[in-house]
C-alpha cells in the first residue's frame, strides 16, 4: 500500500508538469507576436506533447494502492 508521502510525491510530479504547461500557454498568449516561428513551434510542442513518463494512467498503481482499490 502506498503511503501518504508516496502519493504526495507522485501528485507533485503531475502538478508540476501541469503548471509548466499552463506557464507555456500563458507565455505563448502574451508573447507569441514577438516570437520567431521556431520559438513558437518549440513552445507549442511543449504544450501539445505530454512525455510518456508524465502521463497518468487510470490504473496507476500508486494511486490505486493508496486508497486500497484494486481496479
Tens digits of residue pLDDT in 29-68: 898 889 899 988 888 887 777 766 667 777 888 888 876 5
Q: How far is CA 55 from the centre of its chain?
A: 7
Q: What pTM did the predictor assign?
A: 0.64
Find cell 508540476 and name the residue: 16
Query: Euclidean distance between the first and final Cα of the chain, in Å?
Result: 14
What does the CA dihedral 14, 18, 42, 23 come to, rounded to 10 degrees?
Answer: -140
Q: Compute the distance between CA of residue 37 and CA of residue 53 in angstroms, rounded to an integer.
A: 28
Residues 44 and 28 sit within 8 Å (Cβ to Cβ): yes
Is residue 71 predicted with pLDDT exceeding 50? no
10 or 51: whose pLDDT is higher?
10
Amino acid at each position: 500500500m502506498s503511503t501518504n508521502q508516496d502519493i504526495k510525491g507522485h501528485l507533485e510530479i503531475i502538478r508540476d508538469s501541469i503548471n509548466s504547461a499552463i506557464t507555456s500557454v500563458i507565455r505563448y498568449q502574451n508573447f507569441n507576436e514577438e516570437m520567431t516561428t521556431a520559438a513558437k513551434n518549440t513552445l507549442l510542442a511543449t504544450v501539445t506533447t505530454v512525455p510518456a513518463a508524465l502521463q497518468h494512467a487510470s490504473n496507476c498503481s500508486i494511486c490505486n494502492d493508496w486508497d486500497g482499490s484494486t481496479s
